[in-house]
Chains A and B, each alone.
Chain A
């Protein structure tokens, strides 16, 4: 009876183990690298029901963020405007544009426009807009230069590491309160030594102590 397995088969178990270890290593490395928010979220730019261009509305029309996101400085949640807000202008400007049909429909019968949620934090993370924008953190820090975007794109990972980067070192990110909604403004820390001093004073005078423990964001 001939041998069922050749002699080389003796090495097979070892080879299998080595390949498996290698494969597992690669898979682990891949997952750790590519499945982090840095890769899964940044660059996310879904197609919205209405192709709203922030660039046009901010740069050409000159709207402030708070015209539409009117409660961002009052509430934890930055509201997406109701169809009524859009219709303030669009009942006069481009009143018959087919692209605006969902807005007109929503305004007429109250059904919401299903905007796709882009900057989504996990349910167990409670981010609050009002406290950030009232205390020198500009929209641009998390959302990027939305004022220049035709299609809103996820610019930052918005991972816990990203939050902590700033919470551990708020001086580097703060702006003058007046500049918070000016997305082209410079951070205090980027304005030379005088700016750095201003940032340090800001942190001291305003008692900026961003929470670094769990209870700050998780409830």
Chain B
């Protein structure tokens, strides 16, 4: 019989014998929360199998092991075939990608692109560098749009009432509609389309209207991203829209305008903004950004001064600002500012700063704000002499005779519409709730819908609806305009996979035009615009990817102040917001847009840039409101510095579900506490909660459109939140909100004491390195980056790293000063490197696979040193009556930094991760056995493990293991980059610096040089090889290249004084380094902060107040560093002692 020993529990006295060491106050406290956290470095569940313990698992698996043994019979590899073309295809070389110019249209602005195709299969898009304002960048949505092409859930046939229609039947039906209505001149015929900038569509609508003058042509967009034309109509007497030049702007005021992310033209605005923001040396100028907004947008996160302003108070705010900028107008405008809670000094100093930069300042308002706000803003710009300098006005083209959705709804109500043609859009899902569109659409006898998906609109009344499958833009011929009006081609990369139709072809057929071929239609339009021979013009147009000289001409304007004054209406007090009178702000989601990308897995999984929630939307509330609602969490034990904003149980955000009521309409959704919001503004992202959607989008979020009404599409007042008492889990990828006074992101002000201009090498005065001798030693410190990369000795470690004797030494520099956190790099990397999606459930377990992520930290500076020893600071950041109280945001792209002395390598038992001779930390997937030691030992947490066979199994059957269906849908296979291995279950992966691009660049250069007769010149010139993240970065924050080339951009970036290594004190020598973040606050502003908030927190944590006398408050480390140089022994000993907490 087995004997069982019961070990007695140690006596309490026993536990406490001997000296007691503790690593943090919580460990000392022995709090249960800390103990739980201690158990797992990875989030809960990251290493367990759901519902199956190990023993059970072995039992089940034994059967499959046995089966595996039986299958040994075939040792020869299966036969594979080489399938050459029957007839050679011009211009195609098997194995080499071809690039074609095209463009992604979205509302009125297209993004010019270059599509990479592999034997006719597009796999990746990049920005078209020929279009200078975007400079080869592509947005987050553009990067992800290619996945839609290969979406297995897209509409694959033309159908009517469930029956498939052949192409001939479709043509016949369209011709039939045309014939039927021609006699009545189109009475009873109505069109509902999306906004578009296509010159061809404009031309066809003209033809259509000529043929059917009584037909209704209406356009609807649930998202507005361009300034209202009415404002320019009032202010300048013409239909114009503003185009900004942020590169020239030294002072920028943005009122609720997210011009870096969701507004039209954001790509080129971000690029321009970064030009004015980038500081490479001491004397470089730097722009200053003031933001007044109700939500926390990416633009707001870049602000130097940020005011939390309710959107419904925007008119009062601009009136106040205008009267400060232009006192002559004060008499008229001041009545509109009644009740506005903004410090007068804030306005006055901001205005003074703008006036000091006349001609180089610009003010802009969010597209969703009313026309009056824009008209006043135009007045401010006129007073600042900005017009013609930083902002120019160009004609705003609207489709002639266009009517609104409301007008169309009225016609439907009246029953005068017999045939409704819906081109794109999804009105049943996202039309304003008061129109009750679904019912109206059902009342129409015949509906023709051109749609990419069989969605809510197509299936509303499927018996009466003919659904025409639309072609993806990568399957279509077309044209569009960019933000500055330049005409760009939309060129197909592949034949429509499912015979989809283009919008222009449908229009041409409905108009009964002789010419119906999309290419011909575009060609005719372009030839008419550009003149010259159609064939030659078209060839040039397609080659360049744009029609040069077609940008909209600037229109000279004069501001008509009287007209604007008259348009303002009666002055009223601003609405008083509060718990029972909330402002509800409907915002465009950075990923879903208006819901059209709901079935795009890359976008669903990409975390929101600010909230970091993926796969869901949430009702965002301010900390003050959360407190009043009684949902302030008890505070996390991990975050000693302050309370956790949201409750995280087991790494999942456990959100309260609230019901939001506006105007009698209700929605339910999880509440997420978001610092930086105006106190009583509730932010609701649209584009989620689709009901008729594919596998990916099912169950993602709630539909905010159901409480939008046509008179309050973007801002509604009078909202109320009520607790439902339930909870729901959100997949939030970043539960840590604060840097807790650590030195991960190093920041300085541009000017003033302790600033960048005072000490451009400020990064070296922060962090452990400021207290210790350099890791590189005296010799290493003097070396150039090139020598450091190749010649610096790497210690006498037992672990041998190869000699870095390659002809290139790769490195990367990321400029935190210009990074706007748009996440385009995240999806670009996903597309380039065949990175799978894992689904909401797995994201909650911390298993997301993104190789690059963007970390977002808030800092408010109001932690105190006591927080680290005492009860902690129980203040929620941003919980303040003062709308100027700072909530600073710091963003940091984080990916494998390719440490020269990589901690992951030393722990790998099978040498699956090793260095190559060019300094890349490589992963050999076929060596990896999945111990995950490397991920444990990685200080940056950038390694990703394939817990499941994400690529071969569908996400809803992951836990079925071998029982699940194996294999990728054929369509999904087509999206994969053939240059990169598709990883399987059980292997680790991470950023490779896009090694496939490096090898391709090197090989192509070698081949070129060998054929040119200079075979020895094998070093690749700078800029030839671009990492995917770098290539798409709109703000050029990421620079990659060869460190041995002293003239390379990366060498120059690393030579900047503000260059630093994150966790550099570990002596792991990362190849990716960061340029410190610089803020440019105005010393005269009331909310001026002499130090960035993260720096304040750092100082508070690391410099206890008792030491103030010794350190000098203003210069805690910088001064010391200087002192060290004079008297090393004293300085370093002193700092060492207090850093260790000994003194």
- A-side interface residues toward B, CB under 8 Å? 35, 40, 46, 71, 73-77, 79-85, 106-117, 120, 122-124, 126, 128, 130-131, 134-135, 177, 205-207, 209, 211-216, 218-219
The yes or no answer to B55 lying at the interface (CB within 8 A) is no
**Partner pick for B1007 among A46, A123, A130, A218, CB 8 A cutoff:** A130
Complex Cα–Cα for A218 and B925 (A)? 8
Q: Does A117 lie within 8 Å of B86, measured CB to CB? A: no
The yes or no answer to B65 lying at the interface (CB within 8 A) is no
The yes or no answer to B915 lying at the interface (CB within 8 A) is yes
Most buried by B among A40, A81, A216: A216
Q: Given A73-B1007, A74-B93, A207-B807 in contact, is the A213-B802 Cβ separation under 8 Å?
A: yes
**Contact flags B912-929 to A (C-beta < 8 A → 1, else 0):** 001111101011111100
Residues of B within 8 Å of A107, CB to CB, are 86-87
Residues facing A in B834-852 (CB within 8 A) are none
Most buried by A among B85, B807, B926, B980: B85
Complex Cα–Cα for A40 and B76 (A)? 7
Q: Does B999 lie within 8 Å of A113, measured CB to CB? A: no
Closest to B912 in A: A214
Residues of B within 8 Å of A120, CB to CB, are 77, 80
B869 to chain A, nearest CB (A): 48
Q: Does A124 lie within 8 Å of B926, measured CB to CB? A: yes
**Partner pick for B86 among A77, A112, A124, CB 8 A cutoff:** A112
B794 to chain A, nearest CB (A): 16
The yes or no answer to B171 lying at the interface (CB within 8 A) is no
B117 to chain A, nearest CB (A): 14
Q: Does B1006 lie within 8 Å of A131, measured CB to CB? A: yes
Closest to B916 in A: A213
The list of the 6 closest CB pairs from A to B, nearest first, reads A77-B95, A213-B916, A112-B83, A75-B95, A110-B86, A82-B85
Q: Does B916 lie within 8 Å of A211, measured CB to CB? A: yes
Residues of B within 8 Å of A115, CB to CB, are 81-84
9-residue interface stretch from B133-141, B206-214, B701-709, B1009-1017: B1009-1017
Beyond A79-B93, A114-B82, A205-B1015, 4 extra complex contacts between A and B, CB < 8 Å: A77-B95, A123-B981, A124-B926, A126-B996
**Partner pick for A112 among B85, B920, B927, CB 8 A cutoff:** B85
**Partner pick for A117 among B81, B918, B996, B1015, CB 8 A cutoff:** B81
| 5 A-B pairs in the complex with CB atoms less than 8 angstroms apart | A71-B93, A107-B86, A109-B86, A112-B86, A209-B806
Q: Does B1007 lie within 8 Å of A74, measured CB to CB? A: yes
Closest to A135 in B: B1010
Residues of A within 8 Å of B82, CB to CB, are 80, 114-117
B1013 to chain A, nearest CB (A): 10
Q: Does B922 lie within 8 Å of A215, measured CB to CB? A: yes
| B contact face: mostly helix, strand, loop, or mixed | loop
The yes or no answer to B781 lying at the interface (CB within 8 A) is no
Residues of A within 8 Å of B923, CB to CB, are 214
The yes or no answer to B398 lying at the interface (CB within 8 A) is no
Complex Cα–Cα for A107 and B85 (A)? 9
Residues of A within 8 Å of B925, CB to CB, are 124, 218
Complex Cα–Cα for A219 and B1006 (A)? 19
A188 to chain B, nearest CB (A): 15
B444 to chain A, nearest CB (A): 45
Q: Does A113 lie within 8 Å of B84, measured CB to CB? A: yes
Q: Does A84 lie within 8 Å of B87, measured CB to CB? A: yes
Most buried by B among A106, A122, A123, A128: A128
The yes or no answer to B50 lying at the interface (CB within 8 A) is no
B806 to chain A, nearest CB (A): 7
Q: Given A75-B93, A134-B1010, A209-B807 in contact, is the A219-B75 Cβ separation under 8 Å?
A: no
Complex Cα–Cα for A93 and B242 (A)? 69
B265 to chain A, nearest CB (A): 36
Q: Does B917 lie within 8 Å of A205, measured CB to CB? A: no
**Partner pick for A81 among B84, B95, B981, B1015, CB 8 A cutoff:** B84
Complex Cα–Cα for A74 and B79 (A)? 27
Q: Does B96 lie within 8 Å of A75, measured CB to CB? A: yes
B720 to chain A, nearest CB (A): 55
Residues of A within 8 Å of B918, CB to CB, are 215
Q: Does B94 lie within 8 Å of A75, measured CB to CB? A: yes
Residues of A within 8 Å of B924, CB to CB, are 214, 218
Q: Does A82 lie within 8 Å of B88, measured CB to CB? A: yes
Residues of B within 8 Å of A110, CB to CB, are 85-87
Q: Does B922 lie within 8 Å of A177, measured CB to CB? A: no
Residues of B within 8 Å of A216, CB to CB, are 916, 999
Q: How many A-B residue pairs have CB under 8 A?
A: 148
Residues facing A in B889-943 (CB within 8 A) are 914-918, 920, 922-927
**Contact flags B970-1008 to A (C-beta < 8 A → 1, else 0):** 000000000111000000000010011011000100110
Residues facing A in B63-92 (CB within 8 A) are 75-77, 79-88
Complex Cα–Cα for A76 and B999 (A)? 11
Complex Cα–Cα for A131 and B996 (A)? 14
Most buried by A among B83, B923, B979: B83
Closest to A73 in B: B1007
Q: Does A71 lie within 8 Å of B95, measured CB to CB? A: yes
Q: Does A114 lie within 8 Å of B95, measured CB to CB? A: no
The yes or no answer to B1018 lying at the interface (CB within 8 A) is yes
Closest to A41 in B: B77
Complex Cα–Cα for A215 and B806 (A)? 12
Residues of B within 8 Å of A75, CB to CB, are 93-96
Q: Does A134 lie within 8 Å of B807, measured CB to CB? A: no
**Partner pick for A76 among B83, B95, B914, B1010, CB 8 A cutoff:** B95
Residues of B within 8 Å of A46, CB to CB, are 79
Complex Cα–Cα for A209 and B808 (A)? 12
B918 to chain A, nearest CB (A): 8
Residues of A within 8 Å of B77, CB to CB, are 40, 120
Residues of A within 8 Å of B85, CB to CB, are 82-84, 110, 112
Q: Does B93 lie within 8 Å of A214, measured CB to CB? A: no
**Partner pick for B81 among A116, A131, A214, CB 8 A cutoff:** A116
Q: Does B1003 lie within 8 Å of A131, measured CB to CB? A: yes
A117 to chain B, nearest CB (A): 4
Residues of B within 8 Å of A109, CB to CB, are 86
Complex Cα–Cα for A85 and B87 (A)? 8
Q: Does A134 lie within 8 Å of B1006, measured CB to CB? A: yes
Q: Given A123-B981, A124-B925, A135-B1010 in contact, is the A82-B86 Cβ separation under 8 Å?
A: yes
Most buried by A among B79, B84, B93: B84
Complex Cα–Cα for A118 and B103 (A)? 41
Q: Does B1007 lie within 8 Å of A215, measured CB to CB? A: no
**Partner pick for A207 among B84, B93, B1018, CB 8 A cutoff:** B1018
**Contact flags B238-273 to A (C-beta < 8 A → 1, else 0):** 000000000000000000000000000000000000
Q: Does A40 lie within 8 Å of B992, measured CB to CB? A: no
Residues of B within 8 Å of A215, CB to CB, are 916, 918, 920, 922, 992, 995, 998-999
Q: Given A126-B999, A219-B992 in contact, is the A84-B916 Cβ separation under 8 Å?
A: no
Complex Cα–Cα for A109 and B85 (A)? 10
**Contact flags B89-110 to A (C-beta < 8 A → 1, else 0):** 0000111100000000000000
A122 to chain B, nearest CB (A): 8
Complex Cα–Cα for A210 and B979 (A)? 20
A44 to chain B, nearest CB (A): 8
**Partner pick for B75 among A40, A77, A106, CB 8 A cutoff:** A40
Q: Does A82 lie within 8 Å of B87, measured CB to CB? A: yes
Closest to A213 in B: B916
Closest to A160 in B: B926
B1003 to chain A, nearest CB (A): 4
Q: Does B981 lie within 8 Å of A111, measured CB to CB? A: no
Closest to B1019 in A: A207
Residues of A within 8 Å of B981, CB to CB, are 123-124, 218-219
Closest to B83 in A: A112
**Contact flags B338-363 to A (C-beta < 8 A → 1, else 0):** 00000000000000000000000000
Residues of A within 8 Å of B75, CB to CB, are 35, 40
Closest to A35 in B: B75
Complex Cα–Cα for A77 and B807 (A)? 25
Residues of B within 8 Å of A40, CB to CB, are 75-77
Complex Cα–Cα for A126 and B977 (A)? 13
